[in-house]
Amino acid sequence: MRTTYRMRAGRFVGVPAAGLIILGVAAIVWAVGLPEVVVVVFATLGGLVVLGGLWILAFPPILLRTGAETVAVRGLKTDWDEITEVGRVDTTQGPAVALRTKQKDGTILVPLRWLAPGKADKLEADLRDRLNQAHGYTIWDGTAPDEADQAE
């Protein structure tokens, strides 16, 4: 089963706002009486930026996608076998989820402030569960093992 985590849409509110500003410039250019081609260029550009911004708000970029075999963070795919640990770390940009890999200096960071509110704990639990499945770990329930369950 694949799980997709998208960036928080609020991060992109400035894109349609910039388009509205360009449309405002088109209105000012029209009011001043500059040639019609200049007005059309500004109006077209502003309209396209507004539409693109609304598209981004409706469908924010994918931040992280988990699958049975791989995890893709901002498009960078890594096999679960390569990941050794999942944990929360503090960075200069705020808290993040760190995926530590077998490679030296191969930590992949997922900034939590990029996620939609309330998704951070779900993301961390999902990553840990998938990491446990990939390495064959089970969560200890606090009971003693059966006699037949011996270490290999």
Q: Which two tokens stand for residue 87?
A: 């944990």
Q: What is the DSSP letter of 114?
A: G
Q: Tell me which of 35, 58, 81 is where a domain ends.
A: 58
Q: Is residue 33 part of a domain?
A: yes
Same domain for 131 and 66? yes
Domain range for 80 is 62-135
Q: Is residue 142 part of a domain?
A: no
Indicate yes or no: pTM above 0.85.
no
CA torsion 69→75→78→79, rounded to 10°? 10
pLDDT of residue 145: 61
Same domain for 41 and 22? yes
Q: What is the DSSP letter of 74?
A: T
Q: Is residue 140 part of a domain?
A: no
Same domain for 69 and 131? yes
Same domain for 112 and 81? yes
What is the chain's pLDDT, residue by residue, as a tens digit (152 residues)? Answer: 788 899 998 889 999 999 999 999 999 999 999 999 999 999 999 999 999 999 999 999 999 998 888 889 888 888 888 888 888 889 898 999 888 888 877 888 889 899 887 888 888 888 888 888 877 776 666 666 666 655 55
**CA-based end-to-end distance of the chain:** 30
Same domain for 68 and 131? yes
pLDDT of residue 70: 87
Same domain for 101 and 73? yes
Domain count, the chain: 2
Residues 52 and 59: their CA atoms lie apart, in Å, by: 10
pLDDT of residue 140: 62
Q: Is 136 exposed, middle or buried (0-12, 13-18, 19+ CB in 10 A)?
A: exposed
Q: Is residue 18 part of a domain?
A: yes
Q: Which two tokens stand for residue 41?
A: 């260029």
Same domain for 42 and 66? no
